Structure 1
Amino acid sequence: MVATLSEAAVAVLTTAAPMEKVRLTREYAAAWRGGALAEIGGAVPPDRPARPERPELKLPRDMPKRGRGGTLQNRIALLHALAHIELNAIDLAWDIVCRFPGEAMPRGFTDDWIAVADDEARHFAMLEHRLNQMGASYGDLPAHDGLWQAAQKTAQDLTARLALVPMVLEARGLDVTPDTVRRLRAFGDDESAGILQTIHDEEIGHVAAGHRWFSHLCRRRGVDPVATWQDLVLRNFRGGLKRPFNVTSRAAAGFGPEFYESIAAPDPAAGPTSSEGSDGGSSS
């Protein structure tokens, strides 16, 4: 058994096998909640987490296009892409736990991100189990290697990490998942739809944690949260904020439109404002 929480984080980050990463995460999260792990410690996280030999990792531009139809292969490709996101999300949560010791964050910060890691581990396991039911498994298809770039870009700045990962990438998941759930139900795949609905609902809390601790840091530094977030996003996020936004779910996370509306790209559909997204996927 590891002696400190940072040692636990490093153990997860340096574990390549996905289901072992899930097992360790759930074990260490329970140990932290129960008091068996009580000290943060000073172990330093690796620059990149360990990854299994499969899936093959490609640049985002080299990834094959996913179909939006209801065929088995299209649904497998969707769930595989989401499982890859959730696996990265496990590592992102553990990384933030031990990456920024100089910030001296309150105990609640650590509690929140360990809870996020535990959620992400459960989400990955749910998706892997569903893939297995469909005759597939994580690693069968290629995946893109762009997800860790946000972590590397923000490795020196906790405010930037919070601005980009939960408040851009996970918030995007809130935008796009409801439409994916509707399409899966229309295809008759209620089981996959139910998994994605659970992920969406629980990740409202992840966005809320990002917003809460970003705002905490801004207050501590005496800067305006909205202006600071917009500056960090414009400087660090090359993809641009895509409409439409799931305003309802974002609001449930305490993340209001005053943050994102004024810097978002125009909606290419030029239709009425919608509270839910339209392409298929979640961000963690």
Structure 2
Amino acid sequence: MQTVAGAIRAAMMTADPTAKAMATRAVAREWQAGALAFAFDVAMPDVPARPAEPRLLPPNAMPKRGRGGSERGRIALLHALAHIEFVAIDLALDAAGRFGAEMGPEFVSDWLSVAKDEAMHFALLARRLKTLGSHYGAMPAHDGLWDAACETAHDVAARLAVVPMVLEARGLDVTPVTIERFETAGDSRSARILQRILDDEIRHVRFGTTHFSRVCESRGESPPALWKTLVHRHFRGAVKPPFNDSARRSAGLSCEFMAGVA
């Protein structure tokens, strides 16, 4: 029987975006069906395989996208979101494969479920780009999200604190405004895709807060206090308002977490 770690690594080392999404869905299905052994016999890659396109640039070298009012601006924004979802596939796979032995089968199930969702989100956005006359890879992108994986590869608490509880939680804050922009521009199809992503991301952040709280309990730490310490130590940006308070509360990020972080 193939191991879950082996299947995860194979998906991460698949470079073609469509093939990676399909491989990720297959890993999640096989795990759920009991066809993968709970064993971690291979290490996760330091860097997952990437396609030749999009061309990756430093974040500060990225061209300005505008605010999404024109069709060209909306395509650029959808491309950026597709790239975020593409990298998020590997972030979720890496969490399951890197920390699954320590955290247990439920953790693996949750993060493979997240990876499957991210693969679906990517597929929806990539398909939408094609209907608008573009494609994923047509524009440059940056790989700053994977920097967070490298920074937190040593500690599951740091990974949970930064990736779902900061990076994905930021999506809860900004996506409603983006949806409104697409609706205002008459692009309801794109808006519906983003609403689906927002609904799923609340669950993803909740997985992060739930497992983070369990790690804190096992270490005898206060979740809000440890979260703030780890974010200060491992996140290079700023956590600042405005916050989508209702979505954050639904995801388990209480006011106690957010107090004093801005």
* TM-score calculated relative to the size of structure 2: 0.98
TM-superposed deviation, 1:135: 0.5
- Partner in structure 2 of residue 158 of structure 1: 156
User: RCO greater where, 1 or 2, for CA within 8 Å and sep 6 or more?
Assistant: 1
TM-superposed deviation, 1:130: 0.3
TM-superposed deviation, 1:97: 0.9
Matches within 5 A, 1:1-284: 3-100=2-99, 103=102, 105-264=103-262
Distance 1:192 1:69 in 2: 12
The alignment of Structure 1 onto Structure 2 pairs a total of residues equal to 262
Distance 1:235 1:39 in 2: 32
- Tell me, which stretches of 5 or more residues in structure 1 are unaligned? 265-284
TM-superposed deviation, 1:69: 3.9
TM-superposed deviation, 1:28: 1.2
Deviation readout 1:47-100 (Å, 9 max, x if unpaired): 001100111100000001111142111011000000000011000011011113
Name the SS of the counterpart of 1:263 in structure 2: coil
Deviation readout 1:92-111 (Å, 9 max, x if unpaired): 011011113562x1321111
Distance 1:42 1:260 in 2: 38
Name the SS of the counterpart of 1:35 in structure 2: coil
Name the SS of the counterpart of 2:260 in structure 1: helix
Percent identity, aligned pairs only, is 54
Name the SS of the counterpart of 2:215 in structure 1: helix
State whether residues 38 and 105 of structure 2, in contact with CA within 8 Å, keep that contact through their aligned partners in structure 1. Answer: no
- Tell me, which stretches of 5 or more residues in structure 2 are unaligned? none
Distance 2:252 2:239 in 1: 18
Distance 1:263 1:255 in 2: 12
State whether residues 62 and 140 of structure 2, in contact with CA within 8 Å, keep that contact through their aligned partners in structure 1. Answer: yes
- The structure in which a higher percent of residues are helix is 2
Name the SS of the counterpart of 2:64 in structure 1: coil
Name the SS of the counterpart of 1:93 in structure 2: helix
Distance 1:59 1:258 in 2: 34
Deviation readout 1:147-198 (Å, 9 max, x if unpaired): 1100000010110000000000000000000010011000000000000000
Divergent runs of 4+, >6 A: none
Instruction: State the AA in 1 paired with 2:8.
Output: A
Distance 2:260 2:181 in 1: 30
Distance 1:4 1:210 in 2: 24
State whether residues 68 and 77 of structure 2, in contact with CA within 8 Å, keep that contact through their aligned partners in structure 1. Answer: no
Distance 2:164 2:100 in 1: 19
Instruction: State the AA in 2 paired with 1:256.
Output: S
Distance 2:143 2:40 in 1: 30
Distance 1:178 1:50 in 2: 32
Distance 2:99 2:122 in 1: 26
Name the SS of the counterpart of 2:145 in structure 1: coil
